Structure 1
């Protein structure tokens, strides 16, 4: 899996030199596995349905945050800014995205000029205390080297009463070795075997309350696998995600938390 610098270089090449969003497997500029609950899986999937599933993942996160026109919203791991466009549709007064890869930030500024974007690390956010009312992160936390640092930084930049929502895949305790055998992104260190319980502990330690983790894998894995099974990407993307999920080695979760004190807004 390599050391920190080796893993960072893998992610830089993957998201910087390459353009993952240009791959047919993702489509539409999003880079996530998708939330397929309302999409029929009994026939051939279309590109429009693939895009809709990725959009739905953002909508699922945003529904938990109750974003209003008064809110300042931060997305950590904003990628190419397409998700920020979805956030803007909820009408917040400010949307700011941050990503560690400069090339992604540049793409985001081009794709969604209505939002603001900055280069920065999840565990060292380039913002002042109490800068935001809502923080979200969609399928990025599996790359974060320090989830405890991420939790502390989210607590710092959120105002009292502010809310956090994070969705991604988490490993089962003790599953790292098997995941590295099954999935190349765990083997090369691009993805890390964080556990959802460990992240929950990190959030509580950082001062968050009402920490909840909901499994949504039932609406992720099957649709993703069916999409991978068709089209030009079928020989290039690993279909072991569904196998790993069925073996209980990982699952997809939506994690929510709130900063204590103050009114909810």
Structure 2
């Protein structure tokens, strides 16, 4: 088990009913297999990382501390797209263990951060991982909160969020139009959205990706096309939709880190992401938009 749990075989038995709105494979990977514990990730985060701000020469040996820093820096990149009002409310869709929520509170000054995840195990882990911060917030109700809920059915009232962010979660969303409509609904007028993850570059690329990368073949990820994602956000009423490719700061250094770790370098298929990038099939993107 390295970058992701082993691809599901056709005879994989069910592990009980999936949580609501989650395919069985997604439920298992983020449930009993707990993707955040695999060696290619570090520090409890689950993302490829953004590596451009690491100190020292670019060709030096990369360390576990660098890996954690890269994962934190991906959150910093996304959160840095906002001009979040002091005391405002931020929503993290697909929060996992909630470590990005804690980083947002420490470094970006919102009054309240809400972490939302569709998997009950992830919400339980987020509450455990952030127990001290949650306890410290007891005198300031609502400063940090974790909610169980799906991206396409956010359990919050209309217009209650100043910014909505999502880090490496949208590749799992089966109902992107539903997510876009819900984002537009919960954001206040003028509120901002930012999401980052990997998407297919074209429809032809989306058709080719399952043959190269098992997570697309076994139902973990969906090969959404980046321009179609942007169009879906605009169709939901979000404006100023912008797309920025950041793959030059993701794929090569991530693969170099994998190659330098003895326990990771021989795990062949997770390193195909660099191949997919270099052959024009996918890239890593930041998408931003405004509400109202």
TM-score range, shorter chain: over 0.9
Q: What are the within-5 Å matches in structure 2 for residues 204-243 of structure 1?
A: 204-231=234-261, 232-236=263-267, 238-243=270-275
Is residue 2:258 matched to residue 1:252? no
Pair member with larger Rg = 2
- Correspondence 1:9-158 to 2 at 5 A: 9-39=24-54, 40-89=57-106, 90-113=108-131, 114=134, 115-158=144-187
> Secondary structure of the equivalent of 2:53?
coil
Could you tell me how far apart the structure 1 residues matched to 2:121 and 2:260 are?
A: 30
Unpaired runs of at least 5, structure 1 = 261-265
Q: Secondary structure at the match of 1:16?
A: coil
- CA-based RMSD: 1.7
1:81-100 Cα shifts (integer Å, max 9, x gaps) = 11111111112111001111
**Could you tell me how far 1:164 is from its partner in structure 2?**
0.2
CA distance in 1, matches of 2:270, 2:71: 18
Could you tell me which of 214, 233, 248 is aligned with 1:184?
A: 214
What is the Cα deviation at residue 7 of structure 1?
7.3
Number of aligned residues: 258
The Cα of 1:43 is off from its aligned counterpart by: 2.3
Measure, in 2, the Cα distance between the counterparts of 1:256 and 1:112: 28
Q: Is the 8 A contact 2:164 2:193 kept in 1?
A: yes
Aligned CA distance change for structure 1 residues 135 and 172 (closer, same or farther; 3 Å): same
Once the two structures are TM-superposed, the CA of residue 110 in structure 1 deviates from its matched residue by 1.1
With 67-76 and 25-34 compared, the bigger mean Cα shift is at 67-76
**TM-score when scaled to structure 1?**
0.93
Distance of 1:187 and 1:233 partners within structure 2: 22
Native 8 Å contact 1:84 1:112 kept in 2 = no
Give, in whole Å, the separation in 2 of the partners of 1:8 and 1:230: 34
SS of match in other structure, 1:33: coil
Once the 2 structures are TM-superposed, how far is the Cα of residue 184 of structure 1 from its aligned partner? 1.0
Contact 2:22/2:118, CA 8 A, preserved across alignment: no
